Chain A
Amino acid sequence: MGKIKDKKKIKNIELPEESLGQQTRTLNLGPTHPATHGVFQNILEMDGERVLSAEATVGYIHRAFEKIAEQRAFYQVTPLTDRLNYCSAPINNLGWHLTVEKLLGIETPKRVDYMRVIIMELARISDHLICNSVIGVDAGAFTGFLYVMEYRELIYEIYEEISGGRLTTNIGRIGGFERDFNQKAWEKIDKFLEEYPVILKEFESLFDRNRIFIDRTQNVGGISLERALSYGFTGPNLRAAGLDYDIRTAKPYSRYQEFDFKIPVGTTGDIYDRYMVRNQEMWQSLSLIRQAVQKINDLKGEEAIPHHADVPDYYLPLKEKVYTKMEEMIYHFKIIYGEIDPPVGEVYHAVEGANGELGYYLVSDGGRAAYRLHFRRPCFIYYQAYPEIIKGSLLSDAILTMSSMNMIAGEMDA
């Protein structure tokens, strides 16, 4: 085992000797700066208010999830994925479940897939509304943030009814959900579908054609499609640059192919386009949730009952049954003690996270824990374009660019 070298060798940031006479200044934006909305650092070289160059540093909340996941059974990895993009934790959870199901070859019933679509689209809305309203906050318009925050709370209440968690939801299990949505959850989903469009409309009317907002965001922080692809952009940021790449249609999972929805795209990839793409996506998500609720209501007979696939080898049974029923107790012990071996192989599965392609690369050697698990975190990959994007822009625009790219420190550092 290696040792950490002598602490004395750590370099402090030293100003060059002639720094007092020079025309530019070094500015540390972060690691804990209120405008960065997360823990990451940018060392900016400033000429007055203009950014000459930037260097981004990440890793301040690195928690070694990939290492931890090598020692945990598959179902124990779900709470780790919560902490990637914590603004839309359910997408991470369900993405992980889908990956494991792909490895194990589990077919989920229709109803489970539609329930998952509801949860994932709610999560997408909750992520986008935070991102868009924070663009408003950073541009000086606080009102929109307060308007939509009430509905993020409602979304969190829906999560709470379903899983018990709010921010880090740990929602669902391998094969489905741990319990069916209760009546309250359905009522709250209906309430959300009824009330949120009104608020979203109002939110849009505050920003979409607001002269100040347009002046602050149009032609600011843009990136060309070519550069965006080279940098590995995905999700709303890539679509704002003009490419309709969406995993929900490119590689459909969870029966997205049965749904009818549009993929909004921008043209210039600037802040305004990103904002507009996210806003339009929220409308599409609302429509997807409506369709999914309709599809669930239309299911008849046997199909209208299950909330999980019939995979007793991997689906943890209900606790009350573990204590009273023989078969459930056996499976409970088999799962907890790791007596069921998953197949050997490797699988890559990606879902359309709120920030882009959230991929799980799982290498299994037949043990109960992954031999290697790698998260493809969209944030981490596109954040490296940030210094290039803000070069030459004003500091206040750089802040706005950062919030419009929806940087989430948890996802970046894993």
Chain B
Amino acid sequence: MDDKFIFEKIHQKFGEQIIGFEENYDIMAVYADKEINLKLLQYLYDDPELGFKFLTDLTAIHYPDNKGEELVVTYLVYNMLKKKHLRLKFKLDIQKPDIYTATSLHAGANWLERECYDFFGVNFVGHPNLIRIMNVEEMDYFPLRKEYPLEDQTRKDKDDDMFGRGDSHFNLGKLNI
């Protein structure tokens, strides 16, 4: 089962909704329309020749410069018998980041999707419990998006004086010496 065979097979099934593919080292990445993500996963799972029954990984990437398709949700599925990986990529608009959940097909997608929501704000439609998993629930932004710098700008407990950065720190006049 080589990459060409897989691509032709899913292209035959879904036609124009399969947008393209790219080769990354030994794993092929297939770009597809976000509307068919669940259908595609189901087809890859059910088809006896393909048999991608194991969801290895699920995550997202943020490309702020690609207007209209800023978020890329990526699935890594695996065929254990043929030792073959396949990566699926779906581009989403950051204003409306909706994509269907895979929890009905892979139970393990549950927390991976929650993590993806937590960090990127991807809305998995139909997820049974789409709440934050790592961060505090009151947080109202998605920290792995590129617009957020590393240090948390909302913190008030980091007094600059304590770190030798404030004005008063080096003001020896205050110390009366």
Contacts and interface: CB of A to CB of B under 8 A. Distances in A.
B57 A384 contact: no
Nearest to A345: B24
Interface string B108-123: 1011100100010000
B154 interface: yes
A129 B111 CA distance: 29
Interface residues of B, number: 42
Nearest to B148: A1
A5 B83 contact: no
B57 A376 contact: yes
A383 B110 CA distance: 11
Nearest to B138: A5
| Interface of chain B, main secondary structure | loop
Interface stretch (B4-12, B31-39, B48-56, B169-177): B48-56
Given A62-B134, A68-B150, A232 B108 contact: yes
A372 B59 CA distance: 10
A251 B85 CA distance: 10
B125 to A, nearest CB: 20
Interface centre among A245, A374, A382 (most CB of B within 10 A): A374
B61 A4 contact: no
B168 interface: no
Nearest to A245: B80
B154 to A, nearest CB: 5
Contacts of A251: 83
Contact of A227 (B107, B133, B135, B148): B107
B57 A348 contact: yes
A66 interface: yes
A184 to B, nearest CB: 38
A381 B110 CA distance: 9
B54 A229 contact: yes
B107 A384 contact: yes
Interface string A350-371: 1000000101010100000001
B110 A384 contact: yes
B134 A59 contact: yes
A118 to B, nearest CB: 26
Interface stretch (B13-21, B93-101, B139-147, B159-167): B139-147
Contacts, number: 106
Contacts of A250: 80, 83
A59 B107 CA distance: 20
Given A3-B140, A372-B61, A230 B150 contact: no
Given A1-B141, A374-B59, A230 B108 contact: yes
A370 to B, nearest CB: 11
A313 interface: no
B41 interface: no
B138 A9 contact: yes
A229 B53 contact: yes
B143 A67 contact: yes
Contact of B154 (A1, A67, A68, A243): A1
A230 B135 contact: no
B25 A4 contact: no
Contacts of B61: 363, 371-372
Interface in B38-69: 53-57, 59, 61-62
Contacts of B25: 102-103, 345, 347-348
A384 B111 contact: yes
Given A9-B138, A346-B24, A381 B76 contact: no
Interface in A219-276: 227, 229-232, 243, 245, 250-251
Given A58-B133, A67-B150, A381-B111, 6 more contacts: A5-B138, A59-B133, A103-B25, A348-B57, A384-B111, A385-B108
Interface of B: 24-25, 27, 29, 53-57, 59, 61-62, 74, 76, 80, 83, 85, 87, 106-108, 110-112, 115, 119, 132-141, 143-144, 148, 150, 153-154
27 contacts: A2-B140, A3-B154, A4-B136, A4-B140, A9-B138, A59-B135, A62-B135, A67-B144, A71-B150, A102-B25, A229-B53, A230-B106, A232-B54, A232-B107, A243-B80, A348-B57, A361-B59, A361-B74, A363-B61, A372-B59, A372-B61, A372-B62, A376-B57, A381-B108, A382-B108, A384-B107, A385-B107
